Structure 1
């Protein structure tokens, strides 16, 4: 992380605990399946006392998933960090990142994920996650809008190589994806949401300006697409230049 400018200020060491591992198997079309080694692992044992809440309060964006909600004490640490962020006016960004093998049951996953749904300012979900959370067709806009709530600034649904759909209180639409030779889809969602949050952190008027939002989503679609062209989530992450190059070629 050091070359990326992350000095590890928020990292906590747990020398007596396991390090969680994720094993990824690929299908012929680049889609993946996960197996996990944890239970318990260091991330599950994170406590509120280990949090640097000052760092959380100084952030522009607090981004989180749902895996940290599965068990204590990590759930309480997650909730404490989220409360600190909200109280400080930090933008709260939620990517549920559904991983059913880690939860006791699908119903427990659905309940846990939705338990903090209305705390977020921005939510990114995949079409598969919409289907799981709503028990309905992700292509049916009524099902998508059942996930909307007053106070949410932006809801984005990623649709794989088809691109994404976006919903705000003032406008909605879709942005097409990019055609690439897919090898491994691992990390594509992270590349998408990470690149979008970079643009949000620079200019949060994106939530109110559809032209700016569409440009940001086009960039994020490019980042997600590029991430599928190589094996491995981290090695495949694009640079700004490679994303801009893909956009230019598509134009």
Structure 2
């Protein structure tokens, strides 16, 4: 069994989805072609369009936060780091769509904030910054 087939959570970007599926479509059908029986959560990040999520029971999307982008370096890493900090202690989040959407909004806020500064590591937001963006601040 490949590492891919052992993964519980997989995150791909829209460009990675196109590469892995061999087509230009970025839609639910293309994303679900990556699904395997051991998978619990599949995410497709869409840059300034947010992300799509897929589980065994539900799927949907979360919109991006609109910020003044300076540099996109590290945005995906920031998104994944934020996601993992929330689900590592409570994997049941993946089974509750409302809670998952809340976590994905947090992850999108972290990714968005990262794009407002140059560089990857210096641009990573604090939890306070991410929560402020979630509440409508900047």
| Equivalent residue, structure 2, for 1:25 | none
1:188 to 67, 75, 91: 75
* 1:137/1:143 contact within 8 Å kept: no
Task: State the Cα deviation string for residues 115-174 of structure 1 (Å, max 9, x = none).
Answer: 521110100000000000101134232111110011100000000011000000000000
Once residues 213 and 246 of structure 1 are traced to their aligned partners in structure 2, the CA distance between those partners, rounded to angstroms, is: 18
Once residues 173 and 140 of structure 1 are traced to their aligned partners in structure 2, the CA distance between those partners, rounded to angstroms, is: 11
| Equivalent residue, structure 1, for 2:51 | 164
Q: Which runs of 5+ in 1 are unaligned?
A: 1-114
SS in structure 1 at match of 2:136: helix
| Equivalent residue, structure 1, for 2:19 | 132
Once residues 21 and 112 of structure 2 are traced to their aligned partners in structure 1, the CA distance between those partners, rounded to angstroms, is: 26
TM-score (norm 1): 0.53
- Moved beyond 4 Å, runs of 4+: none
Once residues 27 and 64 of structure 2 are traced to their aligned partners in structure 1, the CA distance between those partners, rounded to angstroms, is: 19
Which structure has more relative contact order (CA 8 Å, sep 6+)? It is 2
SS in structure 1 at match of 2:88: helix
| Equivalent residue, structure 2, for 1:119 | 6
| Equivalent residue, structure 2, for 1:44 | none
1:245 to 122, 132, 137: 132
Please say if 1:155 is aligned against 2:42. Answer: yes
| Equivalent residue, structure 2, for 1:143 | 30
Once residues 222 and 196 of structure 1 are traced to their aligned partners in structure 2, the CA distance between those partners, rounded to angstroms, is: 11
Q: Which runs of 5+ in 2 are unaligned?
A: none
Once residues 176 and 142 of structure 1 are traced to their aligned partners in structure 2, the CA distance between those partners, rounded to angstroms, is: 19
TM-score (norm 2): 0.95
